[in-house]
Amino acid sequence: MIDIHCHILPGIDDGAQSVSESIDMAKEAVREGITTIIATPHKNSQYNNEKRDILDGVSQLNKTLSEQGIPLTILPGQEVRIYGEVIQDYLTGGKILPLNETDYLFVEFPSSSVPRYAERLFYELQTEGLIPVIVHPERNQEIIQNPNLLFKLINNGALSQVTAGSLSGYFGKKIKKFSEQLIEANLTHFIASDAHNVHNRTFKMVEAMDAVEKKYGLDTVYMFRENAELLVQGKYVYKEIPQQIQRKKILGLF
């Protein structure tokens, strides 16, 4: 199993704070059946993790894991908080790092809103050959209140990734239900851990996949797993025609 969203690099954001914590996370990942992780440190106003530093960190962590005999491969990535100059910074090189250096780019929205310029920026990203992947839309308050915002972005070519903890109920029943609605409406394409540690923000990938299998069957589990593999390889992922979530269902929940 591949986890495409994880804060396992030590000491550079709010994830693992030391090499020993990174090793603990790696051991936990292996116990969950994860063989490959894309390390996705934050790039935002608080953490300015750029491409070269991430590549160096991934190389060093892979060396450490090999020395420890831990069968886990770390690949480079980045979780980019949306901002107006992201395309310029991508084109000039050095600052923006797509997932495993493919065409897939993680984009994070503020937790409470979707910037009005997002649709235009996503169009421009795709014009430059990048595919924006919206991280944890199920935890964005504006998307919860108006899921049509996500529908428009997905319908125009973006993808999204739901957090495993959301599907396993870690963030509460409402977030779990909304995550399920995103799956049912073909508005999400990946499940990933967004793990930060082994305590209160761990992987929960097995729980999430078990929940998906129970509700939607093995085919849906395989789709999510294969999409992670295709992303790592830089290939096109599976996606169905997105559907709008009916407003009455949302009002019934929140």
* CATH code, 239: 3.20.20.140
> What are the angstrom distances between the C-alpha of 142 and each of 111, 117, 148?
8, 14, 10
How many domains are there within the chain?
A: 1
Query: What pTM did the predictor assign?
Result: 0.95
For residue 76, give the 3-state DSSP assignment: strand
Determine the Cα–Cα distance for residues 168 and 179; give it in Å rounded to an integer.
10
Per-residue tens of pLDDT for the chain, all 254 residues: 999 999 999 999 999 999 999 999 999 999 999 999 999 999 999 999 999 999 999 999 999 999 999 999 999 999 999 999 999 999 998 899 999 999 999 999 999 999 999 999 999 999 999 999 999 999 999 999 999 999 999 999 999 999 999 999 999 999 999 999 999 999 999 999 999 999 989 999 999 999 999 999 999 999 999 999 999 999 999 999 999 998 655 445 54
∠ CA(108), CA(168), CA(17), 5° rounding? 55
Domain range holding 227? 2-253
